[in-house]
Amino acid sequence: MVFLKKLLPLVAGLLVCLGLAGAFFGFGPGLVSREFQDGWRFNTGQLPPHAWIGQTFTSRLDGLARIDVLLGSFGLPLVKPLTLELTAVDRPRQDHLARPRPLVDQGVTIPLHGPLQIGQTFLPRRDGLSGVRVLLDAGSMPAPASVRFRLWEAGVIDLPGELLREVVVPAADLPAWGFFEFAFRPLEGSAGRPLLFTLDLAGVPRHTWRDKTFQGLLLRFISDQGQPDGQPWQGVNPEGSAWRPEISVGKDYSFNEPLTLWPANRHLKWRYWQGDLAFGLAYPPALEPGPVLRRAGRRGLAISDNSFNSFSFKPLEDSKGRSFLFSLKTTPGPGREPVALADWALRYPGGCLVVDGVPYEGGLAFRAYNAAAKGTVWRELRDKVTRNKPAPWSGPWFIAALAAAHLLLVGLLVGLVWPRA
């Protein structure tokens, strides 16, 4: 009995060692990833309940079993749960990809107030333009006010062309800070057509202008000249620029430029800024997800910020050579929506970013894993970690010896600390 009691710490240590070995090396299949993308990361915006974001890819191996996606919660401890759905698609990449717009915190906030108009020229890549999403803050707008959105032909140099669409939205329906989509009837033949949208206010009570807390409608402007303490945003939108009428009275602190006020009886001159409003374009869906092949969820508390988050599912045996689309949707729950992080360069040749069914230039930061035999994974790891390294780290069995010694020593440490009778 005494002998058995003396053995207990040793047995406990061994059990801990075996338990950790089983948890980290024993259970589940080995996985290898051949499809991945992780470059410069930009914020694709929070995922509202009705929206989805995804990525197409082609699997080079059988046994597709897990997809990791880089997600951000921007420090929030709790975000809404996410569901990943995997569907098959015919073509992983389409022609005429839309250009994504980064939701960035850089740039300056500019107020739209009085009878001022602010606008942006742009060149849609696809037909059927159906809306423009603008980053705005209507937090200080009075209830009876509304915002008028107008879509024009871009015109020549300083004058807008034909009015194409007009949308008026009550200020109460606009977000305190976020993208709002000014949706309109799809515009056929929009691909390659220079367009301009303008925003202005209506119905703001006169007494509001005297209220010092009233800031107007706030928009975000990203200068391609660069901020005083930042990098220039060259090429944010090379196909257009921000636009506003220019009348000089006083100074605008945001731009160190003339403050713009609208005189009723003066001729207007239009002026282009070197930079862009934070905005994006909306099109009708071109890529509808088919039947769901696999579905996996992740609870809000388990979503890691600025990190690859795994969605595991039962391996898809015949995945080799097939093209897939995975889409992410938020499901109801406490907290705000998480954000998927993407690369806006088209680095991954086997697919592209898809937002609400519209294929975009760029791609989500993701990794698709396929099931593989443990031995294959170990051999691949050994080859990768010993390559070009000096001795002893170039030894083929060194890493296996270290890994085994690691587990044994953890067991020994626990055994030594284990309470004695």
**How far is it, in rounded angstroms, from Cα 84 to Cα 311?**
7
What one-character-per-residue DSSP string does 170-219 give?
Answer: EGGGS-SSEEEEEEEEEETT-TT--EEEEEEEE---GGGGG-TT---EEE
Residues 147 to 176 in contact with other proteins, rule: CB under 8 A: none
Local structure of residue 98 (DSSP, 8 states): B
Residue 24 in contact with other proteins, rule: CB under 8 A: yes
Binding residue count for other proteins, defined by CB under 8 A: 52
Provide the sign of the torsion angle of the four alpha carbons 104, 109, 114, 118, taken in this order: negative
Q: Considering only 31-39, 80-88, 196-204, 252-260, which stretch makes contact with other proteins by CB under 8 A?
A: 31-39
**How far is it, in rounded angstroms, from Cα 341 to Cα 170?**
32
Binder to other proteins among 8, 10, 14, 20 (CB under 8 A)?
Answer: 20
Checking phi first, is residue 178 left (phi over 0); if not, alpha (psi -120 to 50) or beta? Answer: left
**Cβ at position 24, least distance to other proteins in Å:** 5
Residues 67 to 126 in contact with other proteins, rule: CB under 8 A: 68, 75
- Find where tokens 């259970």 sit: 27
Residues 274 to 333 in contact with other proteins, rule: CB under 8 A: 301-308
- Find where tokens 């990203």 sit: 222
Residues 381 to 400 in contact with other proteins, rule: CB under 8 A: 381, 384-385, 387-390, 393, 398-399
Rank residues 32 and 169 by Cβ distance to other proteins and give the closer one. Answer: 32
The contact mask relative to other proteins for 399-418 (x = CB under 8 A, - = no) is x--xx-xx--xx-xxx-xxx
Rank residues 75 and 235 by Cβ distance to other proteins and give the closer one. Answer: 75
Which two three-digit tokens encode residue 287?
């890529």
**Cβ at position 68, least distance to other proteins in Å:** 7
Binder to other proteins among 23, 202, 292, 373 (CB under 8 A)?
Answer: 23
Question: Contact, 312 vs 69, CB < 8 A?
Answer: no
**Cβ at position 215, least distance to other proteins in Å:** 16
Rank residues 232 and 284 by Cβ distance to other proteins and give the closer one. Answer: 232
